[in-house]
């Protein structure tokens, strides 16, 4: 469902006519070499496309216009091998609507001590050419990412790769449609928000659909479709031996499969990239979609429960960022705590809907009663999450702006098995430590719903927030509570001044 290789980043080198055709030929050859190396780098998941060196205001303008129009182009990498006077960039940059990364590198790695002459100096000029290039973007208050270092270094390529992933997710949001079955969970605040502001800011639309429209699709599902899906369930998951021949279990699975076939068809027909459900609005559905929501997430759909469209869209964006990387991404909720002086932890889970991309081993397909909603016992995949670094991200509507809050965590193995817990879960220790992290999260107004990932990094989300022009607050190993509180206060002023009227 998510294929990053068809997306393009355009590699643009700035120069000017002053140098003459010979030098410009060399500039172009070097640029081509660098863009090819970046295209071939494992860390960079998209195509890096070489574009002819720009030498005049007209060329910059035409190129920025082309980039805006080209649908596979998700962003530009710019670099000034030589000196490219920046006033020639103004009109182009003014209209550019694609994200931009300024790569501050040099074609030659080392100074050739014994042979260096003025020809070398005049060709390898990024040290001052890129300063001029940086100035104009700062002067124009343009959001961009600056990456500095030698272009063959792994760390440099990884930073470019992280930005490419953010740009892919940003591109994916433009024009995306998210489907909301029913409305918000009644009286809940943090899952609400301004959908008009979100559409202006983020480019995606969220629209509501009556659950009856879904029920119609679910009721139209035919027996062979259910049978085929049940066979897939059996091949993919552990079926508890006590349940295998149980009639009630089989009946529940059949209903779950019927819902999944109908839900898939509904989402496909509508061209949706994600959806929300709410247990308060299931009229006509036999059970709350559990295993179907889990499997659709595993296929790349965004999802969040209780009508939480912001988290749904965020989970989708994180799925795009994570495409092809090791580690899964899921909708998540901070559920309950282990508050122990020897090491406090958070147990994350949901009523049902955790993505099996984060499963440690083969999930178990189980049916249990659900305490709320008043529906039949729903089927769900139950599993633990493998230990290792991860993060939680939440997106809140603060009234005058959106805030993206990120907390880096370490997933740990449960102290003991949890044989009676009938839902998928992850156990983690937040950074810098439990008390600081959860205190900062609460000060930040952080939601209980998050996008959880063992693949997405803070750097990707930082780049993504910059592309969206929204506030980012990070809680990580370096967080000090006092500083974090100041940061939130400073952000009030900064975003308050910046937003003015409108979004």
Residues engaged in binding Mn ion (CB under 5 A): 305-306, 333
* Coil/strand/helix, residue 180: strand
Q: Shortest distance, CB of residue 308 to Mn ion, whole angstroms? A: 7
Q: Shortest distance, CB of residue 247 to Mn ion, whole angstroms? A: 31
Q: Shortest distance, CB of residue 185 to Mn ion, whole angstroms? A: 8
From residue 402, alpha-carbon distances to 46, 270, 312, 471 in Å are 28, 27, 15, 6
How many CB atoms are located within 10 Å of the residue 220 CB? Answer: 12
DSSP type of residue 14: B
Q: Are 334 and 278 in contact (CB under 8 A)?
A: no
Q: Shortest distance, CB of residue 301 to Mn ion, whole angstroms? A: 17
Comparison of 8 and 306: residue with beta carbon closer to Mn ion: 306
Dist CA 365 CA 295 (whole Å): 12
Comparison of 188 and 429: residue with beta carbon closer to Mn ion: 188
Q: Shortest distance, CB of residue 305 to Mn ion, whole angstroms? A: 5
Comparison of 99 and 378: residue with beta carbon closer to Mn ion: 378
Q: Shortest distance, CB of residue 354 to Mn ion, whole angstroms? A: 11
Dist CA 401 CA 197 (whole Å): 9
Strands 145-148 and 100-104 turn out to be parallel
Query: What's the start-to-end Cα distance of the chain, in Å?
Result: 32
Q: Shortest distance, CB of residue 309 to Mn ion, whole angstroms? A: 13
SS (H, E, C) 370-383: CCCCCCCCCEEEEC
Comparison of 249 and 441: residue with beta carbon closer to Mn ion: 441
CA 430 from chain centre, in angstroms, equals: 20
CA 227 from chain centre, in angstroms, equals: 35
Q: Shortest distance, CB of residue 277 to Mn ion, whole angstroms? A: 11
342: tokens are 């020897």
Residue 306's region, left for phi above 0, alpha for psi from -120 to 50, else beta, is left
433: tokens are 């430590």
Comparison of 306 and 384: residue with beta carbon closer to Mn ion: 306
Strands 345-349 and 329-338 turn out to be antiparallel
Comparison of 10 and 301: residue with beta carbon closer to Mn ion: 301
């Amino acid at each position: 469902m998510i294929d990053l290789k068809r997306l393009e980043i355009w590699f643009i080198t700035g120069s000017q006519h002053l140098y003459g055709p010979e030098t410009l030929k060399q500039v172009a050859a070097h640029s081509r070499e660098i863009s090819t190396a970046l295209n071939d780098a494992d860390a960079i998941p998209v195509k890096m496309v070489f574009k002819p060196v720009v030498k005049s205001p007209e060329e910059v303008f035409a190129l920025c216009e082309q980039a805006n129009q080209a649908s596979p182009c998700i962003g530009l990498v710019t670099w000034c091998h030589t000196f490219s006077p920046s006033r020639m960039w103004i009109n182009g940059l003014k209209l550019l609507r694609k994200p931009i990364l300024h790569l501050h590198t040099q074609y030659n790695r080392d100074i050739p001590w014994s042979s260096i002459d003025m020809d070398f100096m005049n060709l390898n000029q990024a040290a001052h050419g890129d300063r001029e290039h940086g100035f104009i973007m700062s002067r124009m208050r343009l959001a961009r990412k600056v990456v500095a270092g030698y272009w063959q270094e792994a760390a440099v390529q990884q930073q470019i790769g992280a930005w490419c992933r953010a740009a892919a997710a940003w591109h994916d949001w433009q024009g995306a449609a998210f489907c909301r079955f029913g409305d918000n969970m009644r009286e809940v605040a943090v899952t609400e928000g301004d959908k008009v502001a979100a559409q202006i800011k983020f480019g995606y639309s969220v629209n509501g659909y009556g659950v009856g429209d879904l029920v119609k699709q679910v009721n139209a599902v035919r027996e062979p479709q259910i049978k085929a899906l049940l066979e897939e369930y059996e091949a993919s998951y552990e079926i508890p031996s006590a349940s295998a021949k149980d009639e009630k279990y089989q009946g529940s699975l059949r209903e779950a499969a019927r819902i999944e076939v109908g839900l898939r068809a509904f989402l496909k027909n509508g061209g949706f990239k994600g959806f929300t459900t709410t247990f308060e609005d299931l009229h006509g559905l036999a059970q709350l979609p559990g295993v179907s929501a889990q499997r659709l997430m595993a296929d790349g759909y965004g999802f969040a429960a209780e009508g939480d469209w912001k988290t749904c869209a965020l989970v989708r964006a994180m799925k795009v960022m994570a495409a092809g990387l090791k580690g899964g991404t899921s909708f998540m909720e901070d559920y309950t705590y282990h508050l122990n002086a020897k090491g406090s932890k958070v147990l994350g889970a949901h009523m049902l809907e955790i993505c099996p991309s984060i499963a440690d081993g083969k999930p178990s397909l189980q049916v249990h009663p659900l305490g709320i909603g008043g529906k039949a016992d729903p089927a769900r995949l139950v599993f633990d999450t493998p230990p290792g670094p991860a993060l939680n991200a939440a997106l809140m509507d603060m009234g005058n702006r959106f805030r993206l809050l990120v907390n880096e965590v370490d997933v740990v193995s449960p102290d003991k098995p949890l044989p009676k817990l009938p839902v998928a879960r992850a156990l983690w220790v937040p950074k810098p430590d439990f008390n600081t992290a959860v205190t900062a999260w609460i000060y930040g107004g952080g939601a209980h719903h998050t996008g959880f990932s063992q693949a997405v990094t803070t750097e990707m989300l930082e780049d993504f927030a910059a592309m969206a022009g929204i506030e980012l607050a990070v809680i990580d190993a370096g967080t000090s509570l006092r500083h974090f509180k100041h940061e939130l206060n400073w952000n009030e002023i900064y975003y308050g001044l910046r937003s003015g009227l409108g979004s």
